Chain A
Amino acid sequence: MRRRRRSVDDSEFQDPLKNYETPAYNGDLDRSLMEGKIRDIKITPFTAVLPETTIQDALKEMCDSSIACLLIAREGKLLGIFSVRDVLHRVVENYDRIMNDPISDVMTPNPTAVYRTDSPAKALNLMADSGFRHLPILNVDEKVVGILGPRRVTSYLRDFLPD
């Protein structure tokens, strides 16, 4: 017995992308903000210490490595962040008293981080609007792979800025 061929009703299928319009970018900078990836930016080398590291040793590490920001991590898992701003606000006037205390006492715990696949626009949003100067970068396994500072972001976007 032959089956009757089912008539195709055009109204059954609706292309979900029918009304999709490709994003219109207002220049290369606009495009790079959205289509670029944090992994495309030359990231700052990062130094991580354990939370029980003393404040004095943490400062030595920052001084020796010429870095403004230190990550606190254990086995790749990000636990906190400590920057020169924390030295100004939490350490400098009490240094003699707290120099042998653990860095975990003065770090910022559970810092905001970005993923390698996030856009530069996301990083800029966190830096410009939320005021985070350094953003730890995580991979898909939530392990720290780098740190992003505003200079790297602006250097990356510099090529797209008008002279």
Chain B
Amino acid sequence: MSELELRYVITVHRDESVRHCIQQMRSYGLGCVVVVDKKNILEGKFTERLLIPLLLSGKSLDEPVAKHMSTDWGAVSTEDPIVKVIEQMESKKLRFVIVVNSKGQPVGLTGQKGVAEYIAEHFPRRVKVQESQATKIFLDHREGA
């Protein structure tokens, strides 16, 4: 896990509103906030995916996040191998995995994109040199030989 670049983890308390969580996710460009108790121990998570049933139900965004959070999360330790992240994502069909320290406190966030970036970083000759979309547009429109 030490080789994986972790993302910032947004933590909120259970009585914060869903609207506050949305604002946090938008400002940090993340799709997940982690709900913690007063000792900073994990209680749940709220992801952008949970917004859909919330909107369809017609409930207010000002309700506390505790009412809508998921208590089924994936967590790995900072000492775990990267394969464990993939296992957690596969077995629980998760997009985000929370990285915790020895006290169970969240220290970072990783997931599908983190693993994809890890592989890309380690095989730059294969991944980084791929034709980008911008290049494709250029090639499609170039003139001459």
Contacts and interface: CB of A to CB of B under 8 A. Distances in A.
Contacts of B22: 88, 92-93
Contacts, number: 114
Interface stretch (A12-20, A73-81, A123-131): A123-131
Interface residues of A, number: 43
Query: A interface, by DSSP: helix, strand, loop or mixed?
Result: helix
A162 B128 CA distance: 21
B2 interface: no
Contacts of A150: 112-113, 115-116
Size bin of chain B's contact surface: 35 or more
Given A85-B31, A95-B55, A155-B90, A128 B117 contact: yes
Interface of B: 22, 25-26, 31, 47-49, 51-53, 55-56, 61, 81-83, 86, 89-90, 93, 95, 112-113, 115-117, 119-121, 123, 126-128, 130-133
Interface of A: 29-30, 33-34, 56, 59-60, 62-63, 68, 84-85, 87-89, 91-93, 95, 112, 119, 121-122, 124-131, 133, 149-151, 153-155, 157-158, 161-163
